[in-house]
Chain A
Amino acid sequence: MNSFFERRYVIAGIFISLIVILLARLFYMQIIDDRYLLYAQTNALHKVYKNPARGPILDRNNKILVQNEAFYDIMVTPNLVKPFDTASFCKLLGIDKPEFDKRFEKAKKYSPRLQSPFEKQLSAEAFAAIQERLSEFPGFDASPRYLRTYPDSVAAQFLGYISEVNDKDIEKSGGYYHLGDFIGVTGVERSYENVLRGRRGVEVDLVDSRSRFKGHYANGAYDTAQVAGERLISSLDLRIQKLGEQLMHNKVGSIVAIEPSTGEILCYVSSPTYNPNLLVGHERGNNAAELYKDPYKPFFVRPIQATYPPGSSFKPLSALIAMQEGIITPQTTYNCPGYYWSGNHRVNCFHGEVHGVVNLASAVAESCNGYFSWVFDRLMNYNGAKQTASTFTNWRGNVAKFGLGSRLGLDMPSEGKGNLPTAAHYDKIYHTGGWRSSTVVSLAIGQGELLATPLQLANIEATIANHGFYYKPHLIKGIGDKEIIKPEYRVRNYVGIDSQYFEPVINGMQAVVDHGTAVGSKISGIVMCGKTGTAQNPHGEDHSVFVAYAPRENPKIAIAVIVENSGQGATWAAPIASFIVEKYLRDSITSRPNGMTPEYIMNANRLPALENYYQGPKLTLPPAHKDTAKHKSDSAEKKAAIGSGRKKGKSKYSTSAYQLERSEDEEQK
């Protein structure tokens, strides 16, 4: 019929082969390649994370130290805004027209159809005034968020603060944290982060191409509810914590009080302190910067990071070890001429005072340097002068059992070790065998290389109060509603001194308060055993140190107080300690023999002059953490753009210009 009839097969062949090519490609895309289903899910499934409320922290009497308070962000969706009375809206928020325009432009630039914050972190009261009128302004609405608040503004260094996570935190957490999450940076917030943060909930939503909510994926089968963070019961007593901070106002130093029968820390004052509320809210960045500039370094956690020579407060410990080693008995006497010659090294008693014949108790009570230097000399030479190094090492071991020279393992980040020199240390300085008892005799009276943190000093008092053991000091006594306590806090740590040796020392310590150096701080009706100290300060006036516990029978509180650059222990540290002790035991404060009142101390300014104030390790203000500020984005914006080719990473909030420094503690880790 037609000469080109067979060409139908060519054409049919072309049709078939091209359609088969399409089918082959479809087979590859739909059956073999699994990526597309994943992309489709990334497109349409939107995980909304529900952040749980962070656990509150209470004091030992269930008074709130930190809790969460709702703040309100006023959000704007530019596309939904209809013409309205701008003037009255500005008045409502307390801003002017140019400011309004600026913020509105910013919101529009960010996204016309997505919400962005217009006014951030209004308090509940401020929001209440706005709330009822907000409906008059379409396009504006409120979104609550929860921030930490500190009703009594106390214990800043104990509580620490939280901050937005940085990239390093996210990496370390193995992806648990997301940009914009908060993490504890210092203090309890850091050490109990895992307990406080709770468990994040997630809701898998279906969204359309414009990120509009379209329903729950699989009817919520993959959703999990958020679990609020556990509440923590701290061992602090708000009353004495508050009093302690007031007493330490305008002073540099710290107060640590421990309940000897449990190891619970009752008072944890680091001075100067700051109002923890300053590190919350939208002024946080500026406030933090100001605090960093403060030369007295409020972020320095003095109870565990500052180290001081314990001075005379070390003497009871010296006496205990000597007795345990059998060098002296309580009755051993020494005739003090006002000084002691250790080899060619002269140790003076304070102001060259001649104590005459002293025994252990009176030596403690009168803080006789001569007696303790003599005892130390005898102890060191007990095995002969040639054996000084090994004898010293033995002595050092005994001291170390009290927790000096190492961390006590407080449940806080960044604890310091203090310093307890080793024989090797002296070998290095004086060559091996080149040093004798006389070289290191100042250790006997708590001077020399010896350095202790206030926590270590308080812990020694708790050990004495317990007659030979201590419980690991801790700040959190109960976790969660069940008030779980870590088992390690129930273990007695013995220090290797038989309990019968304590009474003579305690007698001396009682005498210190009854009629010794701290007589001015005697509390009528309460038997307090204490020891004053004057820690030498090469940078200026000596530090005033007082350690004590009370009452003598059935001790309730052991305390260490250090006031820097304030001279003798009796003048500043002892009265402060006595007020704290009395407040804790009686909840009221009676008059003192020397007429000292809490008000007098509160009003006194003992801040050292800056020119001779040793500023300690340098704290630096790190550069603003750009990434965190930039990427912080509302969860609605976290939609991954995989596959869709559209990138979203614009900043929604940039709350903090400064990321507070963490290097100090990271150095120690």
Chain B
Amino acid sequence: MRSRSSYQQQQERGFFFNVDWAIIFVYLALCTIGLLNIHSAVYDDKHPSFFDLSTDYGKQLIYIIVGSVVAIFILLLESRFFSALAPVFYGITVVLLMLVLVVGRNVGGNQAWISLGGGFRLQPSELAKLTTCLLLARYLSGTNIRITDPKSFMISLAIIGFPMVLIMLQPDAGSTLVFSSLIFVLYREGLSPYFLILEGLFITLFVLTLKLNNTAYIIGALIIIAIIIVWFTRRNKKILPVIATGLGICIAFVFCVHFIYTSVLKPHQKVRIDIVLGITTDIKGKGYNVNQSKIAIGSGKLWGRGYMQGTQTKYSFVPEQGTDFIFCTVGEEWGFAGATVVLGLYLFLLLRIIRVAERQRSTFTRVYAYGVASVIFFHVIINIGMTIGIVPSIGIPLPLISYGGSSLLSFTIMLFILVKLDSNRMGIV
């Protein structure tokens, strides 16, 4: 009784007292780190002020302010609103993704932007991550929906896959792959762990097939691995068909990838994939970026070279340093210590989101929370992995740190919808 009254008290004091301050704190910390590093990365003597709107850091500051306003606005909304309107948002996104293919501005080879006038432009693929999470959450929270049902599973895959196809047409491989991270959500909701393993295998096989360009070796290796697994699990008769099926799927997948790559894709498309996967080392293109990026990060040593002191950063050796390669500045100027802090903040954020997810009564919020965590996780791993050269360079931003309004706003909205939903966790959504 007593606890109930205290709960009521809390409710009466307003939702601001129910928000998860830890997430908000990490959010602000990451935004600040981003702003400082963008300042350092794109700083030029002519525009020293933070508030100079002609510079990227000036613009980023505006995005952060706009983001905060949007965040507060979201917190003021009714929780039910997101669940109810999820299909509408998703629909709008799909329309925008189609629109961008027709009227989009071509930036850096990707037709991903819709110009909004005044130098601002919208990247619908950023929005798609959010709306897909919302719709997936809405669908999976429906009654009698079990991911283990083939039908439900197929619908879930369709929700995720549709925007992927549209984004792939831009073509924006990086953003497309982000959606594959939603497998974590499906796994959490009951999808067989084999799918998780299979997806890991698919990604590995996709890269290996194209990199080695030798299907015989890969298939040989797969068969040997399968035999070893069978040998070690020979007492468990049930697992044998699973492995046999998995092996068959894998081999089929390898052939498919190889066939599409060699026979369906046109040469210029192949070149792009080659560069993304680092098969062709274009030293003046992506290879140059990654090399310079590694130099920048590696030269940071333990404590970094100091704010605005990194020569790689200051003298623009790394292109796209404000956006995709912002982590170079972190690594160079703040060293291993700074990099650890940033990664630590991300890890804390992810684990916090999982914790938040698991304390929900509402399936919608839980699924959505896992969606947010998956997307952020994927961005962090791929982006930082790319800057240190262990992941092929795929142009996706570092959440909340990279320069860019669309990306910042979309992550802000994602997180604050979660905060909003969480603040209302005791209520029924």
B316 at the interface (CB under 8 A from A): yes
Does A31 reach chain B (CB closer than 8 Å)? Answer: yes
Q: Is B294 touching A36 in the complex (CB atoms < 8 A)?
A: yes
Q: For chain A, residues 183 to 237, give those with C-beta under 8 angstroms from any C-beta of chain B.
A: 206-210, 214
Given contacts A44-B312, A207-B315, A209-B315, contact A33 B291 (CB under 8 A): no
> For residue A647, which residue of chain B has the nearest CB?
B283
For the side of the interface on A, what is the size category? 35 or more
Q: B298 near A35 (CB under 8 angstroms)?
A: yes
List, in ascending order, chain B residues with CB within 8 A of A27's CB.
336
User: Could you tell me if B188 and A30 are in contact, using CB atoms closer than 8 angstroms?
Assistant: no
In the complex, A515 has a CB within 8 A of chain B: no
CB–CB A643/B188 < 8 A: no
Contact B187 A11 (CB under 8 A): yes
Write out, one digit per residue, whether chain B residues 194-218 have a CB within 8 A of any chain A CB (1) or not (0): 0000000000000000000000000
Judged by a CB distance under 8 angstroms, whether A15 is at the interface is: yes
A30 touches B312 (CB 8 A): no
Q: Is the CB of A16 within 8 A of B347?
A: yes
**Contacting residue for A22 out of B298, B311, B335, B384, CB 8 A:** B384
Of A4, A35, A214, the residue contacting B315 (CB under 8 A) is A214
* Residues of chain B with a CB closer than 8 A to A10's CB: 187, 193
Stretch binding the partner chain, chosen from B255-263, B299-307, B415-423: B299-307
Query: Closest CB-CB distance, A10 to chain B, in whole Å?
Result: 8
Q: Whose C-beta in chain A lies nearest to the C-beta of B318?
A: A209
CB distance from B96 to the nearest CB of A (A): 30
A-binding segment of B61-69, B223-231, B264-272, B338-346: B338-346
Give every chain B residue within 8 A of A208 (Cβ-Cβ): 314-317
Selected contact of B288 from candidates A14, A40, A45, A645, CB within 8 Å: A645
Contact status A15-B347, CB under 8 Å: yes
Which B324-340 residues sit within 8 Å CB-CB of chain A?
Answer: 331-332, 335-336, 339-340
A1-59 interface with B by 8 A CB criterion: 2-5, 7-8, 10-12, 14-16, 18-19, 22-23, 25-27, 29-31, 33, 35-37, 39-41, 43-45
Secondary structure class of chain B's binding surface, majority of residues: helix
The yes or no answer to A133 lying at the interface (CB within 8 A) is no
Question: B396 contacts the other chain (Cβ, under 8 Å)?
Answer: no
**Cβ B298 vs Cβ A36 within 8 A:** yes
Q: Is the CB of B312 within 8 A of A8?
A: no
Contacts A11-B370, A209-B317 known; A644 to B187 CB distance under 8 Å? no
List chain A residues, Cβ under 8 A from B297. 26, 29-30, 36
The reply to whether A43 and B284 contact each other, CB–CB distance below 8 Å, is: no
- In the complex the two chains form, what is the Cα distance from A16 to B358 in whole Å? 17
A82 at the interface (CB under 8 A from B): no
Cβ of A428 within 8 Å of any chain B Cβ, yes or no, is no
- Report how far A45 CA is from B388 CA in the complex, Å: 23
**Known contacts A11-B354, A36-B298, A644-B317: does B370 contact A22 (CB below 8 Å)?**
no
CB of A646 within 8 A of chain B? yes
Q: Which A residues touch B301, using CB under 8 A?
A: 30-31, 37
Chain A residues near B377 (CB, 8 Å)?
Answer: 15, 18
User: Considering the chains assembled together, what is the distance between the CA atoms of A37 and B309 in angstroms?
Assistant: 13
Expressed in whole angstroms, the Cα–Cα distance for A352 and B276 within the complex equals 100
In the complex the two chains form, what is the Cα distance from A214 to B314 in whole Å? 10
Instruction: List chain A residues, Cβ under 8 A from B354.
Output: 8, 11-12, 15
Prevailing SS type, chain A contact patch: helix
- Decide if A12 touches B283 in the complex (CB within 8 Å): no
0 or 1 for each of B165-205: is its CB under 8 Å from A? (1 = yes): 00000000000000000001001111001000000000000
Tell me if B381 counts as interface (CB < 8 A to partner A).
yes
B370: chain A residues at CB < 8 Å are 11
**Per-residue 0/1 for A573-589: is the Cβ within 8 Å of any B Cβ (1 yes, 0 no)?**
00000000000000000
In the complex, the answer to whether B358 meets A209 with C-beta atoms within 8 Å is no
- Is A30 in contact with B339, judged by CB distance below 8 angstroms? yes
Q: Is B394 an interface residue (CB 8 A)?
A: no
CB of A165, distance to nearest CB on chain B (Å) = 30
Q: Does B295 contact A (CB under 8 A)?
A: yes
- The 8 Å CB contact of B299, one of A8, A37, A210, is A37
Taking CB atoms, residues of chain B closer than 8 Å to A37 are: 298-299, 301
B249 interface contact, C-beta 8 A: no
Per-residue 0/1 for A139-181: is the Cβ within 8 Å of any B Cβ (1 yes, 0 no)?
0000000000000000000000000000000000000000000
CB distance from B309 to the nearest CB of A (A): 11
Q: Are B336 and A19 in contact (CB under 8 A)?
A: no
Quick one: given A15-B347, A22-B381, are A643 and B291 in contact (CB under 8 Å)? yes
A206→B312 CA distance, assembly (Å): 11
Whether B296 pairs with A31 at a CB distance below 8 angstroms is no
Task: Give Cα distance in the complex from A210 to B294, angstroms.
Answer: 19
- The smallest C-beta distance from B20 to any residue of chain A, in angstroms, reads 17
Contact partner, A7, options B187, B316, B336, B373, Cβ 8 Å? B187
Cα-based distance from A36 to B357 in the complex (angstroms)? 41
Report the separation of the CA atoms of residues A26 and B327 in the bound assembly, to the nearest whole angstrom.
11
Taking CB atoms and an 8 Å cut-off, the chain A residues in 62-107 that contact chain B are none
CA distance A646 to B282 in the complex (A): 11
B335 to A, closest residue via Cβ: A30
B95 within 8 A of A: no
Question: Which residues of the partner chain B approach A207 to less than 8 Å between Cβ atoms?
Answer: 315
Most buried by B among A4, A5, A7, A40: A40
**Assembled-state Cα–Cα distance A30/B330 (Å):** 12
Q: By the criterion CB–CB under 8 Å, are A19 and B347 in contact?
A: yes
The contact of A40 among B296, B302, B388, by CB within 8 Å, is B296
What distance in Å separates the Cβ of B83 from its nearest Cβ neighbour in chain A?
18
B429 within 8 A of A: no
From B316, which residue of chain A is reached at the shortest CB distance? A209
Q: How far is the CA of A218 from the CA of B56 in the complex (A)?
A: 29
Inter-chain contact A39/B299, CB cutoff 8 Å: yes
Per-position binary interface string of chain A over residues 627-649, scored 1 when its CB falls under 8 Å from any chain B CB and 0 otherwise: 00000000000000001111000
Contacts of B314 in A (CB 8 A): 208, 214
In the complex, A418→B207 CA distance in Å?
77
Q: Is the CB of B388 within 8 A of A22?
A: yes
For the complex of A and B, 7 pairs with smallest distance between CB atoms: A36-B298, A208-B315, A44-B311, A40-B299, A645-B283, A30-B336, A37-B299
Q: What would 19 more interface pairs be, CB under 8 Å, given A12-B354, A30-B331, A646-B284?
A: A8-B357, A15-B377, A16-B351, A19-B380, A19-B381, A23-B339, A25-B388, A26-B297, A26-B343, A36-B297, A37-B301, A40-B295, A41-B299, A43-B317, A44-B317, A214-B314, A214-B315, A644-B292, A645-B288
Give the interface of B toward A (CB within 8 A).
184, 187-190, 193, 283-284, 287-288, 291-292, 294-302, 311-312, 314-317, 331-332, 335-336, 339-340, 343, 346-347, 350-351, 354, 357-358, 366, 370, 373, 377, 380-381, 384-385, 388, 390
Q: Which residues of A contact B (CB under 8 A)?
A: 2-5, 7-8, 10-12, 14-16, 18-19, 22-23, 25-27, 29-31, 33, 35-37, 39-41, 43-45, 206-210, 214, 643-646
